[in-house]
Amino acid sequence: MEKNQNTQQSELFDVVVIGAGFNGVYQLYRLRQEGYSVLLVDAGKDLGGIWYWNSYPGARVDSHIPNYEFSMPEVWRDWYWPERFPSQVDLKAYFHHVDKTLDISRDVRFETRIASAQFEESDELWHLRAEDGFRVRAKFLLPCLGFAAQAYIPDIPGLDKFAGPCHHTARWPADGVDFDGKRVGIIGTGASGVQVTQESAKVAGHTTVFQRTPNLALPMQQRSFTKAEQDQMKREYPAIFRKRNTGRSSFYDLEPDERSAMEVPEEERLKIFEAAWQKGGFHFWAGAFSDVLYNAESNRLAYNFWRDKTRSRLKDPLLAEKLAPMEPPHPFGAKRPSLEQTYYDVFNQENVSLIDVRENPILQVTREGVQTKDGFHELDVLVLGTGFDAGTGGFDRIHIQGADGRRLKNYWSNGVRTHLGYGIPGFPNLLVLYGPQSPTAFCNGPTCAEVQGEWVIDCLNYLRENSYKRIEATEQAADDWIEHMKFMEDMTVLSEADSWYMGANVPGKRRELLFHPGVRIYLEACNKCAAAGYEGFQFR
């Protein structure tokens, strides 16, 4: 569809999908195959979701290939990745390939930011309005907003007064920002902070990193791929994707030792840790021992291994204590580990410095730089790697109103309430994908797009086959799922860190486990629900 369409007509579709990332694209592709009329809307100018917006220097996915791609043969057969962990540039090119192969854009309305979505009892339809005035109606509404739809910008006095370029990594200008020879300040040490730091350190006159909590980053172990190597890999792709989409995690090759790390003799345990470390990516986090996220003692053993490996790369003992302290700042993996290539090494350079804002807090930003308690830091460029209002932020931005005038933001004010992360009581014919209370943060995008996406497709087909016009989660099912989420929270060490998993990175946000940490457990619950005629949902 035309990208700048501006019309007041209110066309009716079977399904409207919001968000053109992996989940939205897969829904559009599959819904069309099943014979539904469908419109996909997105605020960006192109496909890609987060990979359209996150164009900051060094932006790169933390899931390795072939985990991080669609399983459809027509898509992967003629596509070749240059690296094991693709860059944002590679992923934009991949979405163009997907678009060309599957003809996605003909049913997409770009540059369409939805302002409101209201369910009308009179016609049992969702009525959507975009910020540009565009209106559309749908029998079913599928938000595919992802967990990082809303950037979080901290309330730092004077931030708007800075004279130089100042951008959040999630809203990076398309023409980029020049770091060459500049004094660059980076606030935040999450994934984007780590990635920007690595790039800035190569060319900036000086890079100053403002750290609140050290990032327990893992070695990426990046490497290039040849076409011949990938042709060989592709012989196994069908089996790989079957395993990926039905396994214990969203990675076909993460197979941790089922024993507790505490049960294994030290020499053997260190060998297992080392093997996972050398594999790179998330292998050390999720592919060493199965109880690292659940057993505090095993978790501490993993932290000690990580700490010693990391400190060996840092020349300054005081800096080593800031970046990899002897005592863990939180349980290992309770915050999502970022993947790094040269992050710790750059702090050995004279043009890179670290400011611990817990000891030396930021007081204000001025036109010329950042004032901390202990001094002033002159800057030419300021980068905000301050993360996201994860899970719920994208929903809060839209006025979503269900049956009987119920507004979603108000309904969730005392905590997220869903059934399986899909349905929300009081919001008929709305099914969420890759949102809160599903494995979103623990399941990579393409995998979740397919496993959750197929569940939704099957559900909509069930409605059509049984002549149902309406589906809605029950309050009892939401109560039960909240109890299940609390059980999962208590099982793990996740609540012991102030992370975006818990909503704790945003001041004033309710503290709760926002994402389901067990992919296999979650899928078993979803399959059980479907086998029981979609238990926990009511139809009419």
What does the mean pLDDT of the chain come to?
A: 96
The answer to whether the CB of 164 falls within 8 A of the CB of 379 is yes
pLDDT at residue 246 in the model: 87
Q: What is the pTM of this model?
A: 0.95
Q: Using the predicted structure, report yes or no on whether residue 227 has a pLDDT greater than 60.
A: yes
Q: 109 with 94: CB under 8 angstroms?
A: no
pLDDT value at position 5?
43
Greatest distance between any 2 Cα atoms in the chain:
69
Angle between helices 22-33 and 445-465 (to 10 degrees): 30
pLDDT at 247: 75
Q: How far is Cα of residue 520 from the mean position of the Cα atoms in its chain? A: 19
DSSP helix/strand/coil, 472:
strand
Over the stretch 10-27, which tens digit does the pLDDT of each residue have?
999 999 999 999 999 999
Residue 377, strand partner residues = 370
CA dist 207 to 57, 194, 204, 363, Å?
Answer: 14, 12, 6, 19
Distances (CA, A) of 48 to 51, 52, 81, 122, 448: 5, 5, 16, 36, 15
> pLDDT-based confidence at 4, cuts 50/70/90?
very low
- Res. 2: pLDDT tops 70: no
pLDDT digits (tens, 9 = 90+) for 71-125: 999 999 999 999 999 999 999 999 999 999 999 999 999 999 999 999 999 999 9
pLDDT at 41 over 70: yes
Task: Give tens-digit pLDDT for 491-534.
Answer: 999 999 999 999 999 999 999 999 999 999 999 999 999 999 99
Q: How far is CA 289 from CA 268, 335, 492, in A?
A: 12, 18, 14
State mean pLDDT over 325-349: 97
Q: What is the pLDDT of residue 6?
A: 41
| Domains of the chain, start order | 10-47+104-150+390-471 (3.50.50.60)
Place of tokens 């049984």: 466
> CA quadruple 284, 287, 292, 293: dihedral positive or negative?
positive
User: DSSP string of 482-527?
Assistant: HHHHHHHHHHSSGGGS--GGGTTTSTT------S-S-HHHHHHHHH
Q: How far apart are CA 482 and CA 265, in angstroms?
A: 39
- pLDDT for position 9: 57
Relative to beta strand 135-143, strand 10-18 is parallel
Q: Check residue 171 and report its DSSP letter.
A: G
DSSP states of 392-415? THHHHTSEEE-GGG-BHHHHTTTS
For 163, which DSSP code?
Answer: -
| Other Cβ atoms within 10 Å of 3 Cβ, number | 13
pLDDT (mean) for 419-435 = 98
Q: Cα–Cα distance between 49 and 247 in angstroms, integer? A: 26
**245-249, 261-265, 274-278, 386-390, range with the lowest pLDDT:** 245-249
pLDDT at residue 250, as a whole number: 79
What's the whole-number mean pLDDT along residues 458-478? 98
Q: What is the pLDDT of residue 480?
A: 98
- pLDDT 10s digits, 131-152: 999 999 999 999 999 999 999 9
- Residue 7 has what pLDDT? 41
Q: Would you say residue 3 has pLDDT above 50?
A: no
Burial class (CB in 10 A: 0-12, 13-18, 19+), 96: middle
Which stretches does DSSP call E strand in 59-182? 108-109, 114-120, 125-130, 135-143, 166-168
CA proximity to 92, closest of 127, 39, 53? 53
Q: What is the pLDDT of residue 251?
A: 86
338-357 core/surface letters (b: 16 or more CB in 10 A; e: else): bbbbbbbebbeeebbebbbb
